Structure 1
Amino acid sequence: MVQKGPRPLVLCGPSGSGKSTLLKRLLKEFPDKFGFSVSHTTRGPRPGETDGVHYHFTTVEEMKAAIDRGEFIENAIFSGNMYGTSKRAVEDVRRQEKICILDIDIEGVKQIKNTDLDPLLVFVMPPSIKELERRLRGRNTEDEEALKKRLETAKKEILYGQEPDNFHIVIVNARIKEAYSKLRDFVSQNMVEKKSEPEATQE
């Protein structure tokens, strides 16, 4: 069980959908309102990444043991590496009296739905697979085989994201400014506290 607190905000979407950019804008605009849950991973740090800031870097053995001890809310394997969100990572944000933001994949979303966290779920998707491929190729970080795997995974993720009731809102990120405006409106309506009124009713 994770201690009670504000409903977490979950951002999910294919690699290249722009969810990380949206997340950074939200944290920048509301630094006192939101905090980012730092995930664990068994992959090695990339240039510029800091342990405890971008990820908690760990070993396969250590992470498997922690999962067996029930210390993780969700975990998944992506490109041969393990990723996951620990209960402590969420609690660390809540201790700061902030709303916890999680950036997780489809498998993580399925798992977090089975917890008592009651998260608000946002799916970010590209305007098309063709545009997603253009963005991924523009990064120039992967070979052709890895790129094809990412696109195949993205197609499955988009199908899941578009299924009714899997997410509270689906945001098509064609232009980052418009996509962020939709995310901001959704957050304002559902998460930013409003002054209590005598006649107000609780959901």
Structure 2
Amino acid sequence: MTAPSRLVVLAGPTAVGKGTVAARVRETQPDIWISVSVTTRAPRPGEVDGRHYWFITEEEFDRLIAEDGLLEWAVVHGRHRYGTPRAAVEERLAAGDSALLEIDLQGARQVRERMPEALMVFLAPPSWDELVRRLVGRGTETEAERERRLRTAREELAAQAEFDVTIVNTDVDEACAELVELFSNMSSSTAE
């Protein structure tokens, strides 16, 4: 008999803080493995290849798709492709490890279809105004990119009901604690 999955998928709108919450989980919970996605976009200032993302070429991404090497993938904001390498996730879950995927809504929907046992967590902003403030405050996108991301964010917020759990990211430490608690609850339910 296969043990229940310990896979948690964290998704939400752009600039809600998914990466920040996942980074805090990485800092405080080394027993939770966090998948590193591949992307065709260039690194933002401070991002490290292999830690934040694996930055790959369009050709490498095409090869992964052709080889069914991605658990999920999507074109995000009409521009760059992102995906989750399949083998690493499957290996961790087979070993009984807890795993976290920090991905976008399109990817979360694909994982829901392929791994329905995964716990789907929606990270929500405290308000629309706060989401806009966070996106503008990053200063990493042009005005046109911000407008495109905000249009996408409205659609992503409307999908909240598709998820099993919602965590409101008012405070990073609190959001991290809530996410870690979900892993604790999964671990105790698998031990019963």
Fold conserved between structures, TM > 0.5: yes
* 1:63-78 alignment runs, 5 A limit: 63-78=61-76
Whether 2:27 is the aligned partner of 1:28: answer yes
User: Counterpart in 2 of 1:174?
Assistant: 170
User: Counterpart in 1 of 2:181?
Assistant: 185
Q: Kindly tell me: are residues 91 and 143 of structure 1, through their superposed partners in 2, closer, same or farther at Cα, counting changes over 3 Å?
A: same
More helix by share: 2
Over residues 116-161 of structure 1, what are the superposed CA-to-partner deviations in whole Å (9 max), with x where a residue is unaligned? 4621110001121111111111122222221111111111000011
User: Counterpart in 2 of 1:131?
Assistant: 130
Work out the percentage of aligned pairs sharing the same amino acid. 39
Which amino acid in 1 is paired with 2:140?
T
Are the equivalent residues in 2 in contact too, given 1:8–1:117 (CA < 8 A)? no
Q: Kindly tell me: are residues 115 and 158 of structure 1, through their superposed partners in 2, closer, same or farther at Cα, counting changes over 3 Å?
A: same
Which amino acid in 1 is paired with 2:169?
N
Which amino acid in 1 is paired with 2:151?
E
The count of corresponding residues between Structure 1 and Structure 2 is 190
User: Counterpart in 1 of 2:143?
Assistant: 144
TM-score (ref. length: structure 1): 0.82
**Unaligned regions of 5+ residues in structure 1, if any?**
none
Deviation at 1:112, TM superposition (A): 0.7
Q: What's the secondary structure of 2:141's corresponding residue?
A: coil
Deviation at 1:195, TM superposition (A): 9.2
In the alignment, the residues of structure 1 paired with residue 108 and residue 43 of structure 2 have an alpha-carbon distance, to the nearest angstrom, of 24
In the alignment, the residues of structure 1 paired with residue 135 and residue 123 of structure 2 have an alpha-carbon distance, to the nearest angstrom, of 15
Q: Kindly tell me: are residues 195 and 125 of structure 1, through their superposed partners in 2, closer, same or farther at Cα, counting changes over 3 Å?
A: closer
Q: Kindly tell me: are residues 67 and 4 of structure 1, through their superposed partners in 2, closer, same or farther at Cα, counting changes over 3 Å?
A: farther
Q: CA RMSD in A?
A: 2.4
TM-score (ref. length: structure 2): 0.86
Which has the larger Rg? Answer: 1
